[in-house]
A and B are shown apart, each in its own frame.
Chain A
């Protein structure tokens, strides 16, 4: 089975802290994604990557950056956490062929205080 693993289920961070969210997939997928999920807004794409060291901005990249140094790992970085970044963060991966489902991790519930 495909597995997408996020490093933390719950995180509490202080305003201004630098936060790292890690995601690892074991299916050799080319594409990886970071979404945030907020009530009433659905899943919004923050960044995605279609290859190692490649990244593209999604719909809401402000305040975030990403790193993909290895194919299996995609990290989301909050440079200076703010309270409006309190959310559920979901990582996903998919194969590079198009017309392929995205597989999701279990999510990280981040609270910024």
Chain B
């Protein structure tokens, strides 16, 4: 897989390869981060989250990495499958003050057979 930032909205990956999707978040006070997957015509679905006291969290075939120094978040998908084709976006949230989420604009992942 190839690293892309949100200024490149589409990532094409061969089936079976690993995918890496990046996100630069905006607020240094954010302490909770979420990755969502949105398939065409559907609402966003939760994939994985991470709190600011961690720098890595693993789920089933997915890993989220958090670098607070540079305010960067990444989602790694192992052995990408056709069903992973979707738009992926990150969200940041603060545990105090406001309950609002700030969403990234998203990256479209295309899985090539």
Binding site for B on A (CB under 8 A): 4, 31, 33, 35, 40-43, 45, 48, 50, 58, 90, 94, 96, 98-107
Contact = CB atoms under 8 A, between A and B. Distances in A.
Contacts of B93: 98-99
Contacts of A50: 99
- In this complex, the interface size class of chain B, counting residues with CB under 8 Å from chain A, is 20 to 34
B78 interface: no
A17 B20 CA distance: 44
B68 interface: no
A96 B101 CA distance: 13
Contacts of A99: 31-32, 51, 93, 95
Contacts of B45: 104
Interface in B31-83: 31-32, 34, 36, 41-46, 49, 51
B95 A98 contact: yes
Contacts of A43: 44, 89, 103
A44 B21 CA distance: 21
Nearest to A41: B105
A45 to B, nearest CB: 6
